[in-house]
Chain A
Amino acid sequence: MIQRLGALLLIIAPLFSLAQGTTKTEEAVRIYQTGDLMAARTQILNALQSSEEKDQAYTWFVKGFIFKEIFKQIEKGNPFSENREVAVEAILHSMKLDGTGQYRENNVNALKYLSLTYYNDAVLLTKSLNESNLEFPLQFYQRYKELNVHIEPANDHKEQDLEFYKNMGKACRILYEKEDGTKVIYFDKMVDFYNMALEVAPEDFQANYNLAVNYYNKGVYKIRKIDHNTEIFELIRIQDECVALFKQALPFMLAANEAQPEHADTLKGLMAIYRSLSDRENAMAYQEELEKLITDGKPQD
């Protein structure tokens, strides 16, 4: 109720300042006040057909506000709502027409709400990710950032980017594991997201470590499928594929180790990778380092 009252005030305040009699836009606001959003929608679209009102920042703001409320109240924040995007475009157009900045605060508030719903949807979708919605979290996140430029122009989103890409990488990895490694698309997406994270922060421990582990474990899962029916030529092919994966894992595990030199998991990882590459010398060196870490009583897990 308080939110609704606030929203009404946002609209009514500029109305008083106009004080130009009843325009079609004002009529749309009046209809909105009765609670009939769909009729208000028809009226504001009608107002935009009017040559006197179609270039008014206020008219576009009202359009954006009504469509935002449709998205919120009728569509209950449906992530695939078209009305949300209509609202965004209207608000942006209003900001463009608003040379004096008269409606800036109202426009920014509405845009802030809408941009955060995109962020919200991106986050929520990572929790229910599947093959059919795999592309959407990134699309929603990018839209959030595009809109946020109008709200916080100085925000470079580096920290948010890093967290978002890493969480998407993890979500894809979990799906890949749930499907027993049969859906390569999840693995490829996981690699893409961790690489995006590393573009933002090349030295990030978690992105390097997770990417390394995922490459390495992919090789291990292939090896686990070897059985008595595996022919010798298949053994050789599997081994070549796995060696390639272990080699891909190595630079990322080394980078993770450089970021956190006394982390038991990276030492275990380096030991496993070198052992799998038949590099006994390096495997032994990291094993000794790990044992020393444990003896000294400071393993980090």
Chain B
Amino acid sequence: MKLFWLGMAALLSVWLQSPDQTDPQVEDDDTVAVFKASYLFKFATSNDWPADAKTGPFKVGIFGNSSVYENFLNKFATHAVGSQVVEVEEITSANFDEFYHMIYVDRAMSSEFKKVIDSVGDAHTLVVADDKSFINSGACISFVVVDNATKYIINSEAAQKKGITFGSTIILWSVSE
């Protein structure tokens, strides 16, 4: 019986110390960034740009959030918008001369938002903000948090001024301010 108890103790010890039964770790993914990058790709593919913006690569600029940039790059940069290949860049300064079809300005760069709008000028650029206060200050779309989830609001008038027409699904799934 002693041998049996010793066996039981050894068994329990193996059970408790088994290397494949370690505690799990929290996955480190920036989940909000994944949703933002995914929305941005949908904004690119579901809205309509003027004909003169439909040649060459479809350029996306991301300002102020490396995680959104990396997620967009990894998940969507190899896919096309219509017949245009996607090019995504991480913008490092609010002062730029390049044309982008779409620019995302993260909340971290809110203080630079006006400079971004100035840099964009009259170009056919869809400006997406991360702060709803910019929806009437040049942003065509802004992310908002509703019940802990990332949703978005739209400003159709601002988009029209840029010659961009919102797709029906983008309008349908937008939320009200």
Contact = CB atoms under 8 A, between A and B. Distances in A.
A224 B21 contact: no
Interface string A106-140: 00010011001001100110110000000000000
A124 B149 contact: no
A206 interface: yes
Contacts of A145: none
Interface residues of A, number: 53
B15 A278 contact: no
A146 interface: no
A206 B23 contact: yes
A110 B12 CA distance: 21
A294 interface: no
B31 interface: yes
**Most B Cβ at <10 Å: residue of A120, A219, A230, A276:** A276
B148 A116 contact: no
A265 B27 CA distance: 11
A251 to B, nearest CB: 14
Interface stretch (A49-57, A88-96, A168-176): A168-176
A278 B169 contact: no
Given A167-B15, A233-B173, A239-B35, A278 B26 contact: no
Given A236-B173, A278-B149, A220 B31 contact: yes
A246 interface: yes
Interface in A256-288: 265, 268-269, 272, 275-279
A116 B8 CA distance: 8
B23 A226 contact: no
Interface stretch (A19-27, A35-43, A210-218): A210-218
A277 B148 contact: yes
Contacts, number: 109
A240 to B, nearest CB: 6
B122 interface: no
A120 B32 contact: no
A268 B26 CA distance: 8
Contacts of B76: 228
A66 interface: no
Contacts of A109: 1
Interface residues of B, number: 40
A239 B146 CA distance: 11
A126 B31 contact: no
A3 B4 CA distance: 11
B79 interface: yes
A235 interface: yes
Interface string B139-151: 0000001011111
A54 B35 CA distance: 73
Interface stretch (B38-46, B52-60, B87-95): B38-46
B51 interface: no
A103 interface: no
Contacts of B177: none
A91 B58 CA distance: 80
A184 interface: no
A242 B151 CA distance: 14
A113 B28 CA distance: 47
B27 A123 contact: no
Interface of A: 3, 109, 112-113, 116, 119-120, 123-124, 126-127, 163, 167, 170-171, 173-174, 206, 209-210, 213-214, 216-217, 219-221, 223-224, 226-228, 230-233, 235-236, 239-240, 242-243, 246-247, 265, 268-269, 272, 275-279
Given A226-B35, A272-B27, A278-B145, 12 more contacts: A109-B1, A113-B4, A116-B4, A167-B21, A213-B25, A224-B29, A232-B46, A235-B39, A239-B150, A242-B31, A246-B148, A278-B150
